[in-house]
């Protein structure tokens, strides 16, 4: 049996930004900082974003400017309560 980690977000769709950082790595980051990661390809960043946001491609926004992964932000209380 293969174990699969459940998505980090609730069933409500959230915006996920993807783009490249200054080192050329692909970044995927949820708008409130609930989840994110670094990827070697755009395809992997999109695959991750789709998994985490419940398969909602319409909520993925590719940024034309640099984006840096910021895991130091604290999610707001309302978003945390919805996810619980």
Assess if residue 37 is contained within a domain. yes
Local confidence band at 1 (pLDDT 50, 70, 90 cut-offs): low
Where does the pLDDT of residue 24 fall: very low under 50, low under 70, confident under 90, or very high at 90 and above? very high
- Flag whether 75 is in a domain: no
* Full DSSP string of 9-54: S-SS---EEEEE-TTS-EEEEETTSS-EEEESSHHHHHHHHHHHTT
Top mean pLDDT of 12-21, 32-41, 68-77 is at 32-41
* Farthest CA pair distance, the chain: 42
**Is the confidence at residue 9, as pLDDT, over 80?**
no
- Domain span at residue 33 reads 16-69
The number of folded domains in the chain is 1
Average pLDDT over residues 8-35: 86
**22's tokens:** 């200054």
């Amino acid at each position: 049996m293969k174990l699969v980690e459940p998505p980090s977000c609730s069933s409500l769709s959230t915006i996920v930004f993807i783009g490249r950082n200054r080192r050329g790595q692909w970044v995927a980051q949820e708008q409130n900082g609930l989840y994110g990661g670094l990827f070697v390809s755009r395809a992997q960043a999109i695959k991750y974003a789709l998994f985490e946001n419940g398969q909602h491609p319409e909520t993925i926004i590719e940024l034309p400017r640099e984006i840096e992964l910021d895991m130091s932000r604290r999610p707001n209380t309302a978003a945390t309560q919805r996810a619980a």
